[in-house]
Structure 1
Amino acid sequence: MRKTLVTWIGQHDLDGALKLEHHGPIYSALSAFDFDEVVLLCNYSSQQGKNYVKWLESKLSDQISLILTQVTLVSPVDFSSIYIAANECLSELAQSKCELSILLSPGTPAMQAVWVLLGKTKYPAQFIQSSKEKGAELVQIPFDIAAEYTPLANVLSSTKLTQLSESFPNQSPAFSEIVTQNPLMERLKQQAQILAKHDVPVLIQGETGTGKELFARAIHNASNRADQPFVAVNCGAFPLNLIDSILFGHKKGAFTGASADRQGYFQQANGGTLFLDEFGELEPSVQVRLLRVLQEGVITPVGAIKEENVNVRIITATHRNLMQAIHDGRFREDLFYRVAVGVLSLPPLRERQGDITLLADALLVDMAKQDIALRGKEISVNAKNIILSQLWPGNIRELRSTLLRASLWSSEDAISADDIKQALFDRPQNNTGLLDKDISQGIDIQNIISDLVRHYIPKALAHSNGSKSKAAELLGLKNYQTLTNWMDKYDVK
């Protein structure tokens, strides 16, 4: 197998061509190791690159092939352009099935970081470093990187990477429990922090298990009401015959069984925040009662004669499309606009690129605090790649329960891929929505196609570690551009 070394041309290499003592890290590496070819990425002028190659050829045997690749970067510290250039180079080399080595020493720290990222994930390679003191030597990188992080690096600027590494220090500590490095989620945290400072109603939308209550509590804790009660209520659990008593309280003797005065949720949350989860499940009769309270700020306990003033901030959450419910006549439009002043739409876990394994690690640490038997557990890289291949329809709640099962069954400190596989549920394949529809009732074939595209493209990208070319091949598409067109057409994230 052909042995290939790839590296950037650095300033020390250009300077070394003019000196007699130390000729730079590239020459040092080629003197210490045998290679069939060397691929040199050059961000300097074309003439500087050619002059260096000509000098290097004069020092080497004719058996080594030197390939000069001219690259234009935004700057030598711009992660995005460095990643694109390095990834393109390694992708071409990977197709030729060579034994790949990467020389880390030349170039900026940003260039070195991208080499490590790619060489530990998409294009397995051995690493070499060179110094004046020790010369050239193999170096072991003592950690693994899950494949999830490589596609993310392609779309982030160096500014964004810096922000992520600094974990947005200006954010309120109230939001510290919301673990993320995803740009969309970071933006939602910033928006939620702004809403926290304004005493307005907030509607949080998102699938079950996406962290709606976590956001609600963070908003409350970052608000001026933080030292007042936070009361969380599941609207889907309201028995209709007791709704007035549950929400507004009752007086002793108001009905059979009312043996004492009882405060309702609005009274319990007075001065603080009332979080109404599953808000879309409210019956129309209950919606009318709530609308009056929100408009006038008064309640009347069951059995009471006088109204009571309440000062409550409302945060609502739902997994339903309330605009569709309004269109279908199942939800009051006036109530919707009363609660939907500040709106946050949380993405499902499968769309939070860069977050899945980060969350998995954080959840495992949290579980270890509650169960001493889980302390010291960690997730292996192979297990993380299994985690990345799943769609997680149950979102964070499903991920947590899967990790708990896997960690309890794992006999080793590191949770293995097999442990995760065993902890996953086998979901039945349901073709009813695709192949068994009643054509006599009419169908929307575009929606069916859209469902298929949105289901399989993310799976193909996850399986191919973010390579559009490989994903296109798995899906039977002509090339990566065709895949990109499909993603744009059907709004695949």
Structure 2
Amino acid sequence: MVASKQNVLVCWIGGNDLKAITGEEPGPILSTLRSTVFDSVELLCSYSVERLDPFLAWLRSQTDLPVRAHYEHLSSPVHFGDIYQAANRHLLRLTQSGAQLSLLLSPGTPAMQAVWILLGKTRYPAEFYQSSLEQGVQRIDIPFEIAAEYVPAANAISSTKLTRLAGRDVPVYAAFDSILTQSPRMLLLKAQAQVLSQKQVPVLIYGETGTGKELFARAIHNAGDRSANAFVAVNCGAIAPELIDSTLFGHKKGAFTGAMESRAGVFEQANGGTLFLDEFGELTPDVQVRLLRVLQEGTLTPVGTSQEIKVNVRLITATHRNLMQEVSQRRFREDLFYRIAVGVLHLPPLREREGDLLLLVDALLADIARQDTNFGGKKISAEAKNLILRDPWRGNVRELQSTLLRAALWSQGDMISASDIEQALFKMPSADSDVMSLDVSQGIDLNEIISEIAAHYIRRALTVTGQNKTRAANLLGLKSQQTLSNWMDKYGID
């Protein structure tokens, strides 16, 4: 009798998995293990050992399966070369052992997802899974095959260029001209940001993930008096709780276990320049207290010493959270909120930036081609553009760029078709996408729901028709252009 192959789940460990140990949500990895039968788990991780070990101990307590973790040093979580080398090495090892591969795409960066798909569709045949709060765990079919002659072309693309393409890091010298838009709302925000760049007041930038908060922050810094000094960016949500004080304020040698040398915190690193604290709303109340003191007094005390250090930084913060609501619910300090929210910019999601979607598509494709000649000459068909216009783009510009890169990688000719775009899209609807299944017992705001639906489809109709009100009214089943104008006034649409 021939023994059956061992079904092995392979994936990167993601941020939502690390958060699962708090008990709020199980995270993609545990959710997948609970819903599907596997024989063992192989995990890749680029986080620090301090963050990895508690998660692994917790995960092993939740499952009887063998869980093996492999730490991989990545120069960047979007570095294609490093990610490819790590993923290829482990898939080769598992394939040679006779394992049946199952790849979980959800955890990790878009670059990690792209590498899994390319390897799983070419060298190491695998089943693909994804896990989301909205749709649970699903085995997904990726209905295309990569032609054999394509693989050498993909290998010819340099890792450095693919890293820039996949990560689309904000350029160091980003200026307001780097913010492409023809949306009146965005043009007004650019003008307001230019005014703020000439002031030294703190700036708070609101916006969903992928809306360009860091791009605005860098443009403000580069246009201001501090442009010759440092711009230091920190993602507050990615800092381990036990390291937050050390990261922000620095520490002295021997201040805690593992502190082998003294290190300056980000406030000291940004002295004379700009400190950008992204995901600012993730800071816990106790950290908020210590941060407020630094902002009020301009001094900080590194961990492990009583000596105060004076700092002079221009603070720019960003968050996707509604901090006013957080203040009202006592999860965010009111005094700190008013200290940071002097200049406020509220960046709209891509779906609300009238006329910008196809402008960004052309610009992003041109940028991809400019960075690597393997993508030169790629055009996008009218059908593909229509498909792009119909997508809600919950991940905003970041999701759009990642989708276009995948479509460019997979398309076999110079023309990116609608099927290329459809295959490149990850269908992960948001939790509020099904308005027909809201829990009425918990109370709902019917007027707000109607307003959101009406505003959403009015904007979509105007985009599809090139802002032609008569045609948009016809698409929406409204009697006339005047009726549409009345609806636009009612729901505050420019």
Asked if TM exceeds 0.5, the reply is yes
Q: Give the aligned length.
A: 322
Describe the superposition over 1:204-247 as per-residue Cα deviations: whole angstroms up to 9, x where unpaired: 11111111100111111111111111110011122222211111
Q: Is 1:218 aligned to 2:224, yes or no?
A: no
Give the conservation status (yes or no) of the 8 Å contact 2:205–2:316.
yes
In structure 2, the residue matched to 1:273 is 274
Counterpart-to-counterpart distance in 2, 1:400 and 1:450: 29
Instruction: Provide structure 1 residue ranges, at least 5 long, that are not aligned to the other structure.
Output: 1-171
Do the aligned partners of residues 429 and 473 (structure 1) sit closer, same or farther apart at CA in structure 2, a change above 3 Å counting? farther
In structure 2, the residue matched to 1:314 is 315
Do the aligned partners of residues 344 and 432 (structure 1) sit closer, same or farther apart at CA in structure 2, a change above 3 Å counting? closer
The 10-residue stretch of structure 1 (269-278 or 437-446) with the greater mean CA deviation from structure 2: 437-446
Equivalent residues in 2 for 1:480-491, closer than 5 Å: 480-491=481-492
Give the conservation status (yes or no) of the 8 Å contact 1:389–1:462.
no
Instruction: Provide structure 2 residue ranges, at least 5 long, that are not aligned to the other structure.
Output: 1-172
Q: Normalization by structure 1: what TM-score?
A: 0.61
In structure 1, the residue matched to 2:362 is 361
Give the conservation status (yes or no) of the 8 Å contact 2:393–2:399.
yes
How far the C-alpha of 1:480 sits from its partner, in A, is 3.2
In structure 2, the residue matched to 1:232 is 233
Q: Is 1:187 aligned to 2:188, yes or no?
A: yes
CA RMSD of aligned residues (A): 2.3
For 1:388, the aligned partner's letter is L
In structure 2, the residue matched to 1:290 is 291
Q: Is 1:402 aligned to 2:408, yes or no?
A: no
* Partner SS state of residue 178, structure 2: coil
Counterpart-to-counterpart distance in 1, 2:430 and 2:216: 33
How far the C-alpha of 1:352 sits from its partner, in A, is 1.8
Counterpart-to-counterpart distance in 1, 2:464 and 2:360: 20
Counterpart-to-counterpart distance in 2, 1:464 and 1:239: 48
Do the aligned partners of residues 255 and 426 (structure 1) sit closer, same or farther apart at CA in structure 2, a change above 3 Å counting? closer
How far the C-alpha of 1:427 sits from its partner, in A, is 4.4
In structure 2, the residue matched to 1:70 is none
For 1:181, the aligned partner's letter is Q
In structure 1, the residue matched to 2:479 is 478
In structure 1, the residue matched to 2:49 is none
Equivalent residues in 2 for 1:68-87, closer than 5 Å: none
In structure 1, the residue matched to 2:166 is none
In structure 1, the residue matched to 2:199 is 198
Do the aligned partners of residues 345 and 450 (structure 1) sit closer, same or farther apart at CA in structure 2, a change above 3 Å counting? same
Q: Normalization by structure 2: what TM-score?
A: 0.61
In structure 1, the residue matched to 2:257 is 256
Q: Is 1:330 aligned to 2:319, yes or no?
A: no
Q: Which has the larger radius of gyration?
A: 1
Counterpart-to-counterpart distance in 2, 1:420 and 1:387: 8
Identity %: 65
* Partner SS state of residue 176, structure 1: helix
How far the C-alpha of 1:432 sits from its partner, in A, is 7.7
* Partner SS state of residue 343, structure 1: strand
Q: Is 1:241 aligned to 2:242, yes or no?
A: yes
Describe the superposition over 1:36-68 as per-residue Cα deviations: whole angstroms up to 9, x where unpaired: xxxxxxxxxxxxxxxxxxxxxxxxxxxxxxxxx
How far the C-alpha of 1:192 sits from its partner, in A, is 1.5
Give the conservation status (yes or no) of the 8 Å contact 2:355–2:463.
no
* Partner SS state of residue 344, structure 1: strand
The 10-residue stretch of structure 1 (189-198 or 371-380) with the greater mean CA deviation from structure 2: 371-380
In structure 1, the residue matched to 2:304 is 303
How far the C-alpha of 1:429 sits from its partner, in A, is 8.5
Do the aligned partners of residues 428 and 296 (structure 1) sit closer, same or farther apart at CA in structure 2, a change above 3 Å counting? closer
How far the C-alpha of 1:320 sits from its partner, in A, is 1.4
Do the aligned partners of residues 432 and 188 (structure 1) sit closer, same or farther apart at CA in structure 2, a change above 3 Å counting? closer
In structure 2, the residue matched to 1:207 is 208
Give the conservation status (yes or no) of the 8 Å contact 1:229–1:273.
yes
Counterpart-to-counterpart distance in 1, 2:415 and 2:363: 15
The 10-residue stretch of structure 1 (444-453 or 332-341) with the greater mean CA deviation from structure 2: 444-453
Q: Is 1:468 aligned to 2:444, yes or no?
A: no
